[in-house]
Amino acid sequence: MRRGSDILIQFGQRVRQLRKEAGHSQEGFAAKCGLDRTYVGGIERGERNVALRNIEVMARTLGVSLSELMEGL
């Protein structure tokens, strides 16, 4: 079984990967999501345990489904 922090790091890496592929800067992505840039930075570094509502907003902003966002985790 994976430790809880591992999934946070993996999720953050996945968000960063999709954000970059979509051509968003961290600041621009955060603004489109209605989130603070430092909060998004914390997510990408695996420091934040993200609320499900925010995960949905990020997926929508990236133009992917929740299952696509979670792919490989």
Which CATH superfamily groups domain 4-67?
A: lambda repressor-like DNA-binding domains (1.10.260.40)
pTM confidence score: 0.89
Per-residue pLDDT tens over the stretch 15-41: 999 999 999 999 999 999 999 999 999
What is the structure's pLDDT at 12? 97
* 50-57: average pLDDT: 96
Domain range summary for the chain, segments of one domain joined by +: 4-67
What is the structure's pLDDT at 48? 94
CA distances from 43 to 4, 16, 31, 39 (A): 14, 9, 15, 6
